[in-house]
Amino acid sequence: MPLSTPSQKALVPFVSVENMMRFVLHFGVETILKELTEAITADFARWQEFDKTPRIACHSRDGVIELMPVSDGRTYGFKYVNGHPKNMAEGLQTVTALGLLAEVSTGYPVLLTEMTLLTALRTAATSAMAARALAPKGARTMALIGNGAQAEFQALAMKAVLGIERVRLYDIDPQATAKVVRNLSGSGIETLACASSHAAVEGADIITTCTADKQYATILTDNMVAAGIHINAIGGDCPGKTELHRDIVARSDVFVEYAPQTRIEGEIQQMEPDFAVTELWQVLTGQTPGRTGERQITLFDSVGFAIEDFTALSYVRGKLEGSDFYQEIDLIADPDEPRDLFGMLQRAR
């Protein structure tokens, strides 16, 4: 191993929000969503290589703050992310995030980045990955219930990866729906603002729920779910926060990211602890069938897992080299003689 030069290690590439926006606009949202879908699929296919743990959540009355670490033995990553449904009323994001990658061999950070935008992108890419494996063939219409910060990214990922052409929108706040209609105009996706969630699901091949309220909500009731549909349930991602009526979960084939975490946070927190689920990586590697019949209801009980963030961080890192989409920040104390931290401080005088 070559001698590491401390001067290189002391500076950590940092991607600000502004640089992340420049990054995304430069490469294109749909290109990034497609490439991220492939990258997450590739990392899910090597599931066994990762040192996994359910995320570490700190709950309060107003929301949750989480740390999501994972390592593949060479690289370590973690995301800091919050979920505060009441933030919106104060003009703040419900979900904000930042992330870090580090070398496992030294523990030195190699990337720090905003992850609010990146989380929206990786969540949409993960939905598309799951839908590609589980949705009915030839799906062209998606119902999208909950038209907040994640909505456009979900729609565009389903278009880019699956060829979804029509999105039927519903939100309890018509202004949120109008925002999505406006933002997706010119995207090639046909949008339809619906007056109710019942109207939104009519004729849909895929139903995506991404609502923010922290409660045992029933965004979908059993009579709304037709045979053969794929449900992409994103918003039930926290203890006490679900979106689907229990009966839907009971009659669906349920696919999850990492079962030990989803049993705490997902729709299946409503079910018995031994309720049968399939981890998505098993479908992606061909170990277990995904969709097996035309009348089967498949449910991706998505809560968001650390490997998706690890992939997103690694993806960004891979594309940063030689670019100007980052700045270097002086994050790591770096004395010439590593044991002489105190001397470094004295010499700084």
Residue 71 lies near a copy of itself (rule: CB under 8 A):
yes
CB of 6 to a copy of itself, least distance (A): 5
CB of 185 to a copy of itself, least distance (A): 11
Residue 261 lies near a copy of itself (rule: CB under 8 A):
no
Residue 343 lies near a copy of itself (rule: CB under 8 A):
yes
59-67: Cβ within 8 A, 24+ apart: 59/238, 59/239, 62/86, 63/87, 63/214, 64/238
- Antiparallel, parallel or unpaired: β 97-103 and 109-114: antiparallel
Q: Which of 186, 135, 185, 192 is nearest to 158 (CA)?
A: 135
CB of 101 to a copy of itself, least distance (A): 11
| Touching a copy of itself, residues 117-146 (CB under 8 A) | 117, 120
Which listed residue (80, 218, 259, 264) binds a copy of itself by CB under 8 A? Answer: 80
CB of 332 to a copy of itself, least distance (A): 5
Phi-psi region of 322 (alpha: psi -120 to 50; beta: other; left: phi over 0): left
Phi-psi region of 228 (alpha: psi -120 to 50; beta: other; left: phi over 0): left
| Touching a copy of itself, residues 303-332 (CB under 8 A) | 329-332
Nearer to a copy of itself, 107 or 138 (CB): 107
Which listed residue (9, 34, 132, 319) binds a copy of itself by CB under 8 A? Answer: 9
| Touching a copy of itself, residues 176-235 (CB under 8 A) | 176, 179, 182-183
Nearer to a copy of itself, 228 or 335 (CB): 335
**For residues 158 and 177, what is the distance between their CA atoms, to the nearest angstrom?**
18
Residue 93 lies near a copy of itself (rule: CB under 8 A):
yes
**For residues 71 and 252, what is the distance between their CA atoms, to the nearest angstrom?**
32
Tokens representing 170? Answer: 């519903």
Tokens representing 94? Answer: 């419900």
Cα-flanking dihedrals φ and ψ of residue 109, to 5°?
-65, 145
Residues tagged active-site: 237
Which listed residue (40, 128, 151, 158) binds a copy of itself by CB under 8 A? Answer: 151
Which listed residue (39, 100, 201, 277) binds a copy of itself by CB under 8 A? Answer: 100
